[in-house]
Amino acid sequence: MLSRKSALSASSGIWMKSLGHLVVLASLCCLISGYSERDRVHDLMSKYPLIDGHNDLALQLRIRHNNRLSQVDLHNVSKVATDITRLQAGHVQAQMFAVYVMCGAQEKDAVRLTLEQIDVIRRMCTEYQDFELVTSAQELRNSEMRHKIACLISIEGGHSIDSSLPALRMFYQLGVRSMALTHSCNTPWAESSSKLYNVYQRQNNSLTHFGKAVVEEMNRLGMIVDLSHTSWDTAWAALKHSKAPVIFSHSSSFSICSHGRNVPDWLLLDLKKKHGLIMVNLHNNFISCSDDANISRVADHFDHIKKVIGAESIGIGGDFEGAVSFPQGLEDVSKYPALIQELLQRNWTESELADVLRKNFLRVFEEVERVRDRMTLSRPSEVQISFEEVQNPCRLVLRRPVPRGPSHQSPFSRAPHEPKGLPILAIVLLLSSLLMIE
């Protein structure tokens, strides 16, 4: 008679064989039916097409074509990772296009350059029928039903508003629906994660009084606060101060890759409390902290973030066109299905992936709009930053010009309609009359 232990061992062996047979049978069924993992990914992404949080195509249009859209066919663009054909192949239904202006323009012509980048995004998203410019969550949903690629405009760096809330409001009027508080430089009111630029250095003041006013005005307008590129202290302060959920539009996990642009677990937990969203960046340096990476390493970031705060707080922000190297197998926007297939193989459910692909972003966008609606009675903010904080020699001070020369007479003292040549004419006439008398 078999002992209980032997019986259990035999039973376990039979169960393992049965499980093996089921796996083989399932594989055979897939082969017979022709339904592969790729088909599963295709069906999933057709039902829940991707909303991508960050793409710098507009930057490449400036670098390569000086924003001359007439020189390029956006259906097929060489030397870049993004065009209409590849967006469609990658099941990208909505793209947050970044308006990026280099930090060197901060005390110069950042506002003009920002306007030019908004212009090129608006043009490409209205001149091409495959694109559709959207400015609300409902318009985003409607564009999916019309089988369009929705374009959302995001400013990448608070230096673009030149420390001006009226400028922020005007950008909103032009269709901007998201703004990162910093890029790779500090602004007079917020701190960057980067140390590339030695500007606006402050101690223990990562989000100033004016910086908080920027966040408040973005809440009032219904503009998404983006914390990618900010320092952790600034991100934490903005999370605490914002009335609406915030996003990291293209950042990854610091626990997997200890790069300052990535987000540590303690900050992820605060993000979850705020019902916010981290959209995982695919740039090699933020994925593997080196120039080389692969899809498996990208999936490690997704797995870790899900473990810490859940799939309901995750999205995708590829950062194509803004970075120079991407993981093998994820070289351009058409390759997103490969990432979803990897996550499916890691036992992510279709419901979780539907959240990651689009539902999480829609939830955040709709909540941002609900906060805006609750603030309808709030008047536009009139908070201004001091000249001492801005320290910008190019910033005009509105005052009367200093008089020139030894005379202390004000240039405004002359009668408003008195011709400048009238005194000279009077002298000439007087001399003429004296000569006539002689």
Query: pLDDT averaged over the chain?
Result: 89
Instruction: List Cα–Cα distances, 21 to 24, 34, 96, 237, in angstroms.
Output: 5, 19, 46, 55
**What pLDDT band is residue 310 in, cutting at 50, 70 and 90?**
very high
In a domain, 354, yes or no: yes
In a domain, 45, yes or no: yes
On the question of pLDDT at 259 being above 70, the answer is yes
For the domain that residue 72 is a member of, what is the CATH number? 3.20.20.140
User: Domain of 306?
Assistant: 40-385
In a domain, 112, yes or no: yes
pLDDT of residue 16: 47
pLDDT of residue 430: 45
In a domain, 169, yes or no: yes
pLDDT of residue 22: 47
pLDDT of residue 398: 78
Number of domains observed in the structure of the chain: 1
On the question of pLDDT at 92 being above 90, the answer is yes
Angle between helices 165-173 and 209-221 (to 10 degrees): 20
pLDDT of residue 404: 75
In a domain, 404, yes or no: no
On the question of pLDDT at 334 being above 80, the answer is yes
On the question of pLDDT at 192 being above 80, the answer is yes
In a domain, 154, yes or no: yes
Of the two residues 430 and 96, the one the predictor is more confident about is: 96
On the question of pLDDT at 51 being above 70, the answer is yes
Of 10-19, 58-67, 194-203, 229-238, least confident by mean pLDDT is 10-19
Mean pLDDT of 228-245: 98
Active site residues: 54, 56, 156, 183, 229, 250, 319
On the question of pLDDT at 438 being above 50, the answer is no
- Predicted confidence (pLDDT) per residue in 408-436, tens digit: 444 433 344 444 444 444 444 444 554 44
pLDDT of residue 392: 85
In a domain, 64, yes or no: yes
- Predicted confidence (pLDDT) per residue in 395-405, tens digit: 887 778 777 76
Whether the pTM exceeds 0.75: the reply is yes
Tokens 């642009």, located at residue: 261
Mean pLDDT of 278-307: 98
- Predicted confidence (pLDDT) per residue in 2-30, tens digit: 444 444 444 445 444 554 554 444 444 44
Percent of the chain with pLDDT over 70: 84
Of 7-11, 265-269, 272-276, least confident by mean pLDDT is 7-11
In a domain, 267, yes or no: yes
